[in-house]
Chain A
Amino acid sequence: MKHFRYIGWRFLAFVLLLGGLELYLRKFTTYGQLVVTERTERLGWRMVPSQSRWSREGDVPEVINSDGFRDREWDEPEEGEAVFRVAVLGQSMTYGTSVAIEETWPRVLEEKLRADFAARGDAREVLVMNFAVQGYTLEQMVRNHADNVAPFRPDVVIVPLHTGDVAPMPASADEFDFKYRRAWFRTATRDLLNREVVGKWMPRPAPIVDPNAPEPINYQHLLKTNPRDKRAQRLWAQAGGRMDELHRRVDADGGRLALVILPILADLLAPEREDPSAYWGPWASRRSEPSTVPLVKAREEFSQGQELLLRKLIERFGVVERLPLSPTGMRTIPRDVPGADDSLFLYQDVGHYSARGHRLLGEAVFEQLRAAGLWE
């Protein structure tokens, strides 16, 4: 079988080398261990269910349950069950990027709720379900609720909001359809190449901007800096409509809706800047039919929780846009700034909370929603 002999050695060397590299990377490094997503029509993308992976720094496990969310396995809801369910929607700040699941604010909330129920003698089991997916906007969260959350008939639905949430849903351009290509995307070799070579040794080409498309508005920037802009107004109106719909649906299911305005470092460094509560506050206060919608604000707590750090950051950098960038393009807090140990945000990425930040937020949510009577 000459052809086997001829192709055999080459094939063998080829497969052994690539396979060997892959095995080495898997065993000795954390490459290729990121959570994998796949494209879906309605939601843009979702996490592939039942996977056990690692965070991008490789030190925190990220386990996705069989429903496709980062939480424990959930049982099907039963008639007349004695479970108090709280469903938390959201994006990466709730997902807990680079933070262990036990330290995320929904878990903190659950911990506090359990203690509270026990103290009050409420025999119901408390379950706070984390439905957050990294990168989701409000539009996706609302659809997520309709598709995945509503079947659990939660007693409370919490929607965490931050400035960019009302931006239009991004296209799922990077998701692939082909099954076998996804297999390649999951390999450690590809991850290694993606992190160490592409972008570093060989820069990525700049994207071609289609001139016929309307100039893409940087909504994140617009919403942050000029929320009263007409285009921003339109987005707010849309978002308000979506939230109305969500409110009605939650109420029809017999639950309550609550909003949480997520504190972000950009706002904390610029106290005079408006945050989403400027829009959602009035929206929430106008809701009385079918039920009221409490709004949780934690800006004060977050300011007080890292006062020294914030002062020093304002002194040294002024605004968040001047913070140093990491090689991967994220704003960072230098460790040598006084008070950095108290940071409520991740050093390597100020867009997400540290474990301290999650704890503070979880406590704030618990307290304020208790005051609003949501935990009865």
Chain B
Amino acid sequence: MTEGETKITPDNLQAWLTEKFLEWAEIEAEEFDSNQPFTKYGLDSFGAMTFSTELEDELGFEINARLLWDNPNMDTLAAALAEELKKHQAE
């Protein structure tokens, strides 16, 4: 993880994730609706691959790009990732 950033916990995960996504998709916060599918904001399957890789680098565990497929909007993805994070932090 990059120095100086706060530790990512399942609670602040969605906020962090949203920030990352906004940065990746190059859109403003106002344009973004966490309920809408990512594809609306230009995240296609390859984007999913590269985005999930970036998330991996930050979170420190392997994320299957399919996680983004199966959870096509921010709300569901954040929930799923939070689960994963809990699992990995327990180890």
Q: Do any beta carbons of A and B sit within 8 angstroms of each other in the complex?
A: no
